[in-house]
Amino acid sequence: MARLSVFNHVSLDGYFADADGDMGWGHSNDAEWNIFVEQNAGGGGALVFGRITYELMAGFWPTPFAAESFPAVAERMNTLPKFVFSRKLDSVSWNNTTLLKGDLASEIRKMKTQADRNVVILGSGTLVAQLAQEGLIDELLIVVNPIVLGQGRALFEGVREKLPLKLIRSRVFANGNILLCYEPVS
C-alpha cells in the first residue's frame, strides 16, 4: 500500500501561505538546502494538489526560468504523475496531470491501495486539513522557516479535532530551516 505524505513549509508563526496566498517565501537559495530539495523532490512518487497550489505550480515549473534555476527539481516536477483535486477546473494542461473531481477521501483511499508508488501532497492546505481529519496522512514533513509573516493561512485550518503526532526525525539546516517529520499517533 502506498503511503501518503505531506511536505509543506510553515513560517515561525504557523502559516503555510502569506496573506496574499504566496508560498514563495519558503524557498531559500542555500547549497545544503538545495541539495536536500534536489534529492527529495517529489518523494519518488505521485504528487497531489488542490486547485490553488496546482495553478501556482503549473505556472512555474514548466517555465524556462524554473528549468534554468532548479533543473533537477523542475525535471521531476514536470515528469512525475500529478493529481489535482478541483470542482472549478474543467481541464489541466501541465504534463502528466490528472484532474479528479470525485470525493477527496475516497479517491485518496483508492490511490493508496492501487498506487505502486508513494503519494506526496505539496501545499494544498485545504486538502491537508481534510485528509488529516480522515486519518489518511501517513507522514507530515514540515519545514519551519525562519520568517514571521504576521498573517496568512494556517496549514491545518478547518481541523475540528486534535490530531496527536509523534516526531520521528528532524534536521536543522544552515539556512535556519528546520525539518520536522511526524507520524500520526495510532
Q: What pLDDT was estimated at residue 23?
A: 80
Span 126-172, pLDDT tens digits: 899 999 999 999 999 999 999 999 999 998 888 888 999 999 999 99
Residue 13 has pLDDT above 60, yes or no: yes
Q: What are phi and psi of 11, to 5 degrees?
A: -75, 165
Query: What pLDDT was estimated at residue 45?
Result: 83
Q: What is the CATH number of domain 4-184?
A: 3.40.430.10
Average pLDDT, rounded, for the chain: 90
Q: Give the pLDDT confidence score for residue 101 in this predicted structure.
A: 93
Q: Which is higher by pLDDT, 29 or 90?
A: 90
- Would the pLDDT of 91 be above 90? yes
Chain segment 21-36, per-residue pLDDT in tens: 888 887 667 788 778 8
What local confidence, expressed as pLDDT, does residue 167 receive?
Answer: 98
The b/e string for 97-136 (b: 16+ C-beta within 10 A; e otherwise) is: beebeeebeeebeebbeebeebbbbbbbbbbbbbbbbeeb
Kindly compute the dihedral angle of the four CA atoms of residues 40, 132, 135, 47, in this order, to the nearest 10 degrees.
-40
pTM of the entire predicted model: 0.89
* pLDDT attached to residue 44: 62
- pLDDT grade, residue 83 (50/70/90)? very high
In this predicted structure, the answer to whether residue 40 has a pLDDT above a threshold of 80 is: no
